[in-house]
Structure 1
Amino acid sequence: MTKALVTGGTGFIGQHLVSALVARDRKVRVLDRRPPVCATPGVEYVSGSVLDSTLVDQALRDADEVYHLAGLPGMWLPDKNDFHAVNFKGTEIVIAAARKRGVARFLHCSTESILFSPTSSQHDASERSLLPPEQMPGVYTRSKMLAEQSATRAAAEGFPLVIGTPTMPIGPHDHNLTPPTAMLRQFLHGRIQMYLDFIVNMVDVRDVATGLILTMERGQIGHRYILGGESISLKRILKLMTTISGHHTLAIPVPGRIAEMAAGMLEFVADHITHTPPSGTAEGVRIALRATELSIEKAQKELGYAPRPIEPALRDTIAYLLSKPDPS
């Protein structure tokens, strides 16, 4: 029986990945700081951080393959240095330990938020070198780009590593509210919403889990596979949400520059006064302003990746959010 270690396995994508692995008769061990909201039977849960190199090494014992999902997904933290520590240094620690242990296969889970190519070609975003870390929109994306560079270097040195890049996953059981779900909740419960219209690529989180397994099993070493769904405008998403939920929100589009300034002010208040996550960040707006359609053709052709339409996942997400207390 194949033994898999999943770092970050109690997170949104992680919990669905763990369930999918168990369904495929994998023996699974999870390393995560957070305990599972609902533990999967037969799965071993190890509590701890990827920054603990001794614990990481112990968690890797007998592992045949590693799915490295652990990271900080939000775009605001009281201490911005945590992004660099967990997303970049944590990745280096896990890769180094896995190489020392000689695992047969390693998957690094990246993010579409760093896919800004020097040209506008969709092909470039999945195949060629991207913008350097110093040209990323902020501290979160910089840390994720540095992590991907570490993964790419390891693969170039012969380590059997592949890269899976989810776009914006949605679906049920997002207990900690990742940025896409938090954005949907904000629009779902608000009466008047200012929004920046941009192209988003949303995907069912269950398809992401399947796609990560396909990437592990069939992906070429050192290659990146974009695991997305439909590219759709945020304006269209808001209309679908109104139709599905019956909740009518007055949605007012705003120019990018104004959105960035407003988010910057919200972030300043969060940093210096409230010390709680703001409803938007300047980095998030900069990512949106650079967003373009992403192609999943490579994953479809090489992996057999076949994501479902996004509307059913949107319905599931809305049903899940409506089952929770109104944040207001």
Structure 2
Amino acid sequence: MAESMPASRGCSLVTGGGGFIGTHLVRLLLEQGERVRVLELDDVPVLDGAEVIRGSVADEAVVHRAVKGVRRIYHLAAHTDLWAPDKRIFRQINYESTRTVLHEAMYADVEVVVHTSTEAILTGRGDPDQSDRTLSSSSRKRKTLGPYCQAKLMAEQAALEASRNGLSVVVVSPTLPVGPGDRHITPPTRMIVDFLNRKIPAYLDCRLNLVDVRDVAEGHILAAQRGRSGERYLLGHENMMLSRLLLMLKEITGVVMPEHKIPYWLALMVGVLQEFVADHVTHKAPMAPLTGVRLAGRGNDFDSEKAVRELGFRQTPIRQALIDEIIWLVETGHVNLPVHSFRKHFGSTEKK
């Protein structure tokens, strides 16, 4: 467990503190005796014990009020869906709002800003700089990965620019988080839910890097305490093929794996078609967002050795994180499985 530091001045602000990672981060900060302020939308529940400011990070007046008097800022708020009917929301929430937070932090005498980026804008171990290289070197690659990745890349660049201008900013890049408590059912959880509910007839066997969401939350605190300004720390753990993940889920639950794999070219064609229909006909999210398909086609591995070495980042076995997630999904009614048939065989680390 990351050590807590005395709240000698102000409190910790968590933007997006009602999200998947944010909720675990707020809980951990409260457990460590921190005073916590959360900036969150009106309809998103927030843990008891935190001060809550309701509003959007896109509202400069709300951000100004939220930042006033804080010691540390954990900036997690983002539009995390890979598709939206209005593509402008990606730039507005993921990029412009980040610039607003950084601007307010610069004039508020904040000790440190931890900016939450994403592995989606990293090239992985196929390049000379391994997991520390962004897609910024190739505008073509940026464009093909869609507006979500473009906006997150610009936000990270703005954060690093702020660090060069004197603000203490540490960037963390989580890979795909798994574990209990994903009330909004983010894309990694949606994939697991659909598999357990037997809604995946076929799959694209792609490379993934999975990490326990509770380790990611702790990694944010470690980044604030030990991270170097202007540096990026990748928070991930196990690289594996999707088929290996599905096999692990089968071993835990008994749910049979889909028999059919689909090639990337076919998944890409389906993604293009579904995206067109979603954009111009249904205006509802496609089952396979084109950005997600293209990210799956990269085939990258990621290495978190830097975070382990410099921050003391710990990595819970993914199998245990999946067990805890499945139990939570069953107990909350997202999937229908006889949880007691496998709970007795495995321990739970939900109270980390």
Task: Give per-residue Cα distances to partners, 1:221-260, cap 9 Å, x unaligned.
Answer: 1000001111111000011111112121424111111101
Residue 303, structure 1, aligned to residue 303, structure 2: no
Shift of residue 272, structure 1, vs aligned partner: 2.4
SS at match of 1:66: strand
Equivalent position amino acid for 2:57 in 1: V
Instruction: Name the structure 2 match of 1:163.
Output: 171
Query: CA 1:296 to 1:326, structure 2 compared with 1: closer, same or farther past 3 Å?
Result: closer
Residue 320, structure 1, aligned to residue 328, structure 2: yes
Q: Distance in 1 between matches of 2:199 and 2:149?
A: 31
Match of 1:51 among 47, 54, 58: 58
Instruction: Name the structure 2 match of 1:177.
Output: 185
- Segments of 4+ moved more than 6 angstroms: none
Instruction: Name the structure 1 match of 2:250.
Output: 242
The two structures have a TM-score, normalised by structure 1, of 0.94
Residue 92, structure 1, aligned to residue 99, structure 2: yes
Shift of residue 191, structure 1, vs aligned partner: 5.2
Task: Give per-residue Cα distances to partners, 1:105-148, cap 9 Å, x unaligned.
Answer: 1110000111026x823743226784356532111100100100
- Contact 1:133–1:146, Cα closer than 8 Å, also in 2: no
Q: Distance in 2 between matches of 1:112 and 1:279?
A: 22
SS at match of 1:172: coil
Instruction: Name the structure 2 match of 1:33.
Output: 41
Q: Distance in 1 between matches of 2:71 and 2:261?
A: 49
Query: CA 1:263 to 1:127, structure 2 compared with 1: closer, same or farther past 3 Å?
Result: closer
Shift of residue 193, structure 1, vs aligned partner: 2.2
SS at match of 1:164: strand
Q: Distance in 2 between matches of 1:128 and 1:168?
A: 17
Q: Distance in 2 between matches of 1:242 and 1:122?
A: 36
Instruction: Name the structure 1 match of 2:241.
Output: 233
Taking the TM superposition and a 5 Å limit, the aligned residue runs for 1:1-328 are: 1=7, 3-37=11-45, 39-116=46-123, 120-121=126-127, 123-126=129-132, 130-132=136-138, 135-136=141-142, 137-190=145-198, 192-323=200-331, 324-325=333-334
SS at match of 2:166: coil
- Contact 1:116–1:130, Cα closer than 8 Å, also in 2: no
Q: Distance in 1 between matches of 2:140 and 2:162?
A: 21
SS at match of 1:79: coil
Equivalent position amino acid for 1:105 in 2: V
Query: CA 1:132 to 1:66, structure 2 compared with 1: closer, same or farther past 3 Å?
Result: farther
Gaps of 5+ in 1: none
SS at match of 1:250: coil
Q: Distance in 2 between matches of 1:206 and 1:85?
A: 28
Q: Distance in 2 between matches of 1:128 and 1:169?
A: 20
Gaps of 5+ in 2: 1-6, 337-352
User: Which is further off, 68-77 or 262-271?
Assistant: 262-271
Q: Distance in 2 between matches of 1:62 and 1:83?
A: 29
Shift of residue 88, structure 1, vs aligned partner: 0.4
Q: Distance in 2 between matches of 1:114 and 1:298?
A: 18
SS at match of 1:202: strand
Task: Give per-residue Cα distances to partners, 1:190-222, cap 9 Å, x unaligned.
Answer: 255221111111111000000111011100110
Aligned alpha-carbon RMSD (Å): 1.8
SS at match of 1:169: strand
Q: Distance in 2 between matches of 1:122 and 1:189?
A: 41
Query: CA 1:191 to 1:150, structure 2 compared with 1: closer, same or farther past 3 Å?
Result: closer
Task: Give per-residue Cα distances to partners, 1:255-292, cap 9 Å, x unaligned.
Answer: 11110111121222222232221111111111111131
Q: Distance in 2 between matches of 1:188 and 1:131?
A: 39
